[in-house]
Structure 1
Amino acid sequence: MTVSPRACARISLLALALAAAGCTTAPRGPVTLNLVAINDFHGNLEPSKYTYTSAATGKTETLRAGGIEALSGALAQWRKEDKDLLFIGAGDLIGASPALSSMWADEPSIEAMNLLGLRLSSVGNHEFDAGSKELLRQQAGGCDSPRPAKACKLMPGYAGARFTYLAANVLDKATGKPFMPAYRIEEVKGVKVGVVGAVLEGTASVAVASAISGLSFIGEAEAINRELPRMRADGAKVFVALIHEGGKTDEAPDQPACSKLKGGIVDIVKKLDPAIRLVITGHSHQGYLCNVDGRVVTQADAAGHLLSRIALQVDPTSGAVTDIQVRNVVMNPEQFPADPKVTAFLAGVKERSRALLARPLGKLGAPSVARKASDAGQSPLGDLIADAVLAATRAHGAQIGFMNNGGIRKDLETSDAALTTNFGHAQAVLPFGNWLVVMDLSGAQLKRLLEQQWQRPSASGATILQVSQGLSYTWDEKRPVGNRIVPGSLKFNGAPVEDAKTYRVVANNFLAEGGDHFPEFAKGTNRVDTQIVDLDALSAFIAKNPGAGGTTAGMAPSVRIDKMRQ
């Protein structure tokens, strides 16, 4: 039977009328939103050493984990299970990077995250290493950079990040508004997810002051909570916080529902709006899957060693999160075959970098010069760097060299049986490109400076400065904070340091501006910005001193920092 067009129209109208009378679609059941999180990648394009103890097996394992090839393989495998998987980050994707990334202004790491399909990340403190202008360039692309020798040199026309950096608590002092977007709404399987990002409020203490000029950092929870009404107005029903601040626990990285988390992140989480059930963290370079105040709080170690897999079960109508399952998965390259596109990209970066990275600097006195410190706080590599920065600035009158442990990122390795080290190894140790500043401090200021090693915010713990040959002292942990240097033990070239005498010291510009909670450096007078880069100073010292870092005659380590034995 043939139905006329007019009859078809009447049937359609009848169907619409029935729908209006109450014929509705059946309610949707719960949906599972799959997230994968990374933090503190720090430009580690290649695998690196990772040691962990598994809660599942009780065994301690050491392997080379991470690298963009393993990450690409894992993400490809998991996207086959769920094409709507959301890949997000919690800051420090760049900065403090190995040479393969940092020598190209970290553009390879940004492009790697593009290839991996990263959607969003909070900023971390290391995103500000080269200044706020450079961070905006890395987000938006272009070649107008404060690092013209590095920017746009790997590939012309750098296009920037295809993911979005979030910074709810980083404000432009001039306007009072967020310096970058505070949040983004991602629609996953029909559910609008509000993702908000923040960096540690104390970024000013761990960043070069000039790099964050014009910016202020407010409380993480305060900033995140005030964005919730805006996210709700934009339709969000589920809320996820990315916070570049973390904690510590002695529980295994794969321990479900860990309960011993301590550190700055704990108080932050307790202040968050109850609607935020999931908090993805960073900064402390730990792997954990914890419960804090009824929230799930995760972190995936650092350098791509782990990825956090997170499954949120959500009522799509109300947005209620009914269950959260989390796992930290070790990125073992043998278990996750790489995406060919990522392999080709990495091979191209390595080929472009090969000649510069392999440039020999000189011979060390040991196969590896370690950054691990003694119980007193002195390390072989710290000694070497402090001696190097002093040697580089003798012409400016420097007598004493200082180095901060946080600026020493890796052990100094050798390349062959002859103990030759190269530029790539040295650059991995000192990736920031800080320059050296020489200044005058009185003996009294030197004492105050060294006492500041223990006058720290409770979450950060003591930080022992590395010192050059000639300066020595003993400290006693039983003495009160502010008076831990044993009286009479602080000496320079064997003579007691005199309060009224002037000493010429050198430190990198981060310390010189009072960074890392050492405000006494900022009070130094007769300052000279030498523009000598710390990496160049180390490279020149190694070239001029065969056997550096070892026990060769004339290079034997001395006790510079000692601790009272109880």
Structure 2
Amino acid sequence: MSRVRTTRAAAVLAGLVLAASATTAAAAPADQGGADAKGRKPGKDKLVDLQILGFNDLHGNLEGPSGSSGRVVVDHRLDPTTGKPVDVTVDAGGAAYLATHLTTLRQGQTRTITAAIGDQVGASPLLSAAFHDEPTIEALNLMGVGVGTIGNHEFDEGYREMLRLVGGGCLDDGDGKDNQNSCAAGEFQGASYPMVAANVFYKGTNRTVLPAYTIKEVDGVKVGFVGAVLKDTPNIVTQAGVAGLDFRDEVSTMNAAARELQRKGVKAIVAMVHQGGSLKQEQWTAPDGKTYPVNPAFDVVCGKGGELDPNSDILPIARNLSPKFDLVMTGHTHQSYVCDVPDPAGQSRYVTSALSFGRLVTDARMKYDTRSRDIVRSSVRVDNRIVTRTVAPDAAVTSLIATYKELVRPIAGKVLGRITTDVTRVQSPAGESALGDLIADAQLADPSVVSNGVKPVVAFMNPGGIRTDLTYKASGAEGDGVVTYEEAFQVQPFNNYLVSMDMTGAQIYTLLGQQFTGSNAAFPKVLQVSKGFRYERTAAGAISNVTLGGVPVANDASRTYRVVTNNFLSDGGDGFPAFKEATGKLIGGLDIEGFAAYLAASSPYTPGPLDRIVLR
């Protein structure tokens, strides 16, 4: 809807999530007479129950995600045909089921607060993204979220848009321009809960973009919540979206906020950090007596013998956050863990994460001492619980989803063209994929990136931006081989802009080398390239025989080439700083619109041979 943008102050609410199977957390038994982790003795007969619920990385998944993204690993078994271990999973996730589980978890809990730990929006399915993620914020309001912090994806459309999602109001988006429509269901009210972030400042000031903390009071109990997003956010989002902001160290800024809370008499404090841990493979002992490395079950780390990778980014943060924090809730890495990571005073403290896409909820239960006004650290119990789909979906959230499914229908069902076979992300040994080729060719053909009549001659696409395959078999009533706008959007859901620029031959060689060096040394990222561009590489990443239209690209500055990519890569994202050295940049249209136009113009589309990148 085309409207004048308005704003309103974000308010406060409470609540949150959950479900069935539990992950475990080992903790010392509650000691109602002894000292807690901070050396204070709880007041006799003055302990009350407190519940903190949390989840992270919903990414606008209002409906239960499909495939592995909509399942939770609960066990393993040996495949009788192959004799190899396979995951045992249950279907999980979906906002309406999440809301029901939240209601169930809160039953009997007088003092309960729900926290959302970042990336609730961004990289979202079309049902949310077509409406600038307004439906997801409305669903979180209905679920009773009480407090939240931001993740890197809250900056996908810039920090001003993030603030609008918090405060409310409508975008003047031309009544559905670029297949998006703000306030399609009426005036958007924003989040009904406070959003906090202690480490994001306006550049050159000591003023935070969002409040550093908030104080939640439930039935006489005050709990402080301090938020932070990973300090490396500028390296993984478009630079235009964070221009004018300063992302500072998580630990120092959060500790400063905790000291301020203590000065205000708030001693029970929870950290919400959108940074996370990586998991090692689970060593599973099968019925045959052999031990196999497998994907960790949701409740293994750290409750059943699994452990975090010691190089996990969250560990130095957790180890250095002030002992004033009683619980550290995290996200970003889409993993499930409940781990005891001692605080700087050497006292036990839980660090948690609840997977992603609304499949798990962290359920932390503890005692609060009304005399010391603090959490009894030794009383804390934490479980990750599965958001199963075997319960009745929440009626209010179901109604919200139904409203937006009807509103999105004209956009989602738009037919773009046909494909004659599956076009997938599966990479050749050299790292090239059929879908990568298609997207790169679409970027090269987009007229919005032509600068003064000069067309780009090569396009580069990051493989991580290709989120799903285009499958020949119909996903709905459209028919086999038919590609709809919704299906195309699922492939490229980030709403990145295309950017054309000038790069020298030497810069292009440097760019290709960065696929295997620097931050990509451990896990190479092979860029997808457009037709006419070809090169050879070794397994170690040595680049040679780079050609364009059969003509060698000289590894020097003697020739300049017009290239095109998305704005994320243009800003040096994914470890490709060579793009930042390019000149004459022109910002074109949205990548999804170029992709959609190319599909229509190339219908019926048949993928060609994977011969642009050659492994030798």
TM-score using structure 2 length: 0.80
Range moving further from structure 2, 120-129 or 276-285? 276-285
Quick check: 2:434–2:608 contact (8 Å CA) kept in 1?
no
Range moving further from structure 2, 107-116 or 291-300? 291-300
Q: CA deviation at 1:401?
A: 0.8
Q: CA deviation at 1:431?
A: 2.1
Residues 200 and 563 of structure 1: CA distance in aligned 2, closer, same or farther (over 3 Å): farther
Q: Is 1:45 the equivalent of 2:107?
A: no
Quick check: 1:52–1:60 contact (8 Å CA) kept in 2?
no
Share of identical aligned residues, percent? 37
Over the aligned positions, Cα root-mean-square deviation in angstroms equals 2.5
Quick check: 1:259–1:292 contact (8 Å CA) kept in 2?
no
What are the superposed Cα offsets for residues 333-368 of structure 1, whole Å, 9 maximum, x if unpaired?
A: 12x21121111111111111112211111112335x
Q: CA deviation at 1:329?
A: 2.1
Question: d(CA) in 1 for partners of 2:521 and 2:246?
Answer: 21
Q: CA deviation at 1:439?
A: 1.4
Range moving further from structure 2, 39-48 or 513-522? 513-522
Q: CA deviation at 1:163?
A: 1.4
Q: Which amino acid aligns with 2:297?
A: A
Corresponding residue for residue 247 of structure 1: 277
Corresponding residue for residue 228 of structure 2: 198
Match of 2:392, SS?
coil
Corresponding residue for residue 264 of structure 1: 313
Corresponding residue for residue 539 of structure 1: 596
Match of 1:48, SS?
coil
Q: Which amino acid aligns with 1:556?
A: G
Q: CA deviation at 1:189?
A: 4.6
Corresponding residue for residue 560 of structure 1: 612
Q: CA deviation at 1:547?
A: 4.4
What are the superposed Cα offsets for residues 17-51 of structure 1, whole Å, 9 maximum, x if unpaired?
A: xxxxxxxxx84343332222111111111011334
Q: CA deviation at 1:477?
A: 4.6
Corresponding residue for residue 114 of structure 2: 87
What are the superposed Cα offsets for residues 351-394 of structure 1, whole Å, 9 maximum, x if unpaired?
A: 11112211111112335x33354554333322221111112248
Q: Is 1:228 the equivalent of 2:258?
A: yes
Corresponding residue for residue 421 of structure 2: 366
Q: Which amino acid aligns with 2:73?
A: T
Corresponding residue for residue 286 of structure 1: 335
What are the superposed Cα offsets for residues 494-527 of structure 1, whole Å, 9 maximum, x if unpaired?
A: 4432123322210112222223332211221233
Q: Is 1:330 the equivalent of 2:386?
A: yes
Q: CA deviation at 1:491?
A: 2.9
Residues 157 and 463 of structure 1: CA distance in aligned 2, closer, same or farther (over 3 Å): same
Q: Is 1:108 the equivalent of 2:135?
A: yes
Corresponding residue for residue 350 of structure 1: 405
Quick check: 1:90–1:280 contact (8 Å CA) kept in 2?
yes
Q: CA deviation at 1:314?
A: 3.5
Question: d(CA) in 2 for partners of 1:52 and 1:557?
Answer: 36
Corresponding residue for residue 122 of structure 1: 149
Quick check: 1:243–1:280 contact (8 Å CA) kept in 2?
yes
After superposition, residues 118-517 of structure 1 pair within 5 angstroms as 118-144=145-171, 149=176, 150=180, 152-249=182-279, 250=281, 251-255=296-300, 256-257=302-303, 258-261=306-309, 262-293=311-342, 294-318=348-372, 319=374, 320-334=376-390, 336-367=391-422, 369-374=423-428, 376-393=430-447, 396-413=454-471, 414-415=474-475, 416-457=478-519, 461-478=523-540, 484-486=541-543, 488-499=544-555, 500-517=558-575
Q: Which amino acid aligns with 2:166?
A: Q
Higher relative contact order (CA 8 A, sep 6+): 2
Q: Which amino acid aligns with 1:469?
A: K
Q: Give the paired residue count.
A: 525
Residues 561 and 191 of structure 1: CA distance in aligned 2, closer, same or farther (over 3 Å): farther
Corresponding residue for residue 14 of structure 2: none
Question: d(CA) in 2 for partners of 1:238 and 1:452?
Answer: 46
Residues 344 and 503 of structure 1: CA distance in aligned 2, closer, same or farther (over 3 Å): same
Question: d(CA) in 2 for partners of 1:372 and 1:438?
Answer: 27
Q: CA deviation at 1:557?
A: 3.3
Match of 1:447, SS?
helix
What are the superposed Cα offsets for residues 214-239 of structure 1, whole Å, 9 maximum, x if unpaired?
A: 11001111111111111112222222
Residues 436 and 444 of structure 1: CA distance in aligned 2, closer, same or farther (over 3 Å): same
Match of 1:241, SS?
strand
Q: CA deviation at 1:430?
A: 1.8
Q: Which amino acid aligns with 1:504?
A: R
Question: d(CA) in 2 for partners of 1:56 and 1:33?
Answer: 35
Range moving further from structure 2, 449-458 or 53-62? 53-62
Residues 466 and 59 of structure 1: CA distance in aligned 2, closer, same or farther (over 3 Å): closer
Question: d(CA) in 2 for partners of 1:71 and 1:103?
Answer: 22
Question: d(CA) in 2 for partners of 1:227 and 1:66?
Answer: 33
Quick check: 1:314–1:322 contact (8 Å CA) kept in 2?
no
Match of 2:207, SS?
coil
Residues 403 and 424 of structure 1: CA distance in aligned 2, closer, same or farther (over 3 Å): same
Quick check: 1:69–1:333 contact (8 Å CA) kept in 2?
no
Q: Which amino acid aligns with 2:65?
A: S
Match of 1:381, SS?
helix
Match of 1:42, SS?
coil
Q: Which amino acid aligns with 2:366?
A: L
Q: CA deviation at 1:206?
A: 0.9
Question: d(CA) in 2 for partners of 1:310 and 1:459?
Answer: 38
Q: Which amino acid aligns with 2:333?
A: S
Instruction: Mark the runs of 5 or more structure 1 residues left unpaired by the alignment.
Output: 1-25, 479-483
Quick check: 1:433–1:534 contact (8 Å CA) kept in 2?
yes
Q: CA deviation at 1:166?
A: 1.1
Question: d(CA) in 1 for partners of 2:521 and 2:536?
Answer: 25
Q: CA deviation at 1:105?
A: 0.9
Residues 201 and 146 of structure 1: CA distance in aligned 2, closer, same or farther (over 3 Å): farther
Q: Which amino acid aligns with 2:398?
A: T
Q: Which amino acid aligns with 2:387?
A: M
Question: d(CA) in 2 for partners of 1:62 and 1:390?
Answer: 41
Match of 2:545, SS?
coil
Residues 97 and 325 of structure 1: CA distance in aligned 2, closer, same or farther (over 3 Å): same
Question: d(CA) in 1 for partners of 2:520 and 2:439?
Answer: 28
Corresponding residue for residue 21 of structure 2: none
Q: CA deviation at 1:259?
A: 2.4
Range moving further from structure 2, 469-478 or 163-172? 469-478
Match of 2:575, SS?
coil
Question: d(CA) in 2 for partners of 1:373 and 1:312?
Answer: 48
Question: d(CA) in 1 for partners of 2:516 and 2:256?
Answer: 35
Quick check: 2:74–2:89 contact (8 Å CA) kept in 1?
no
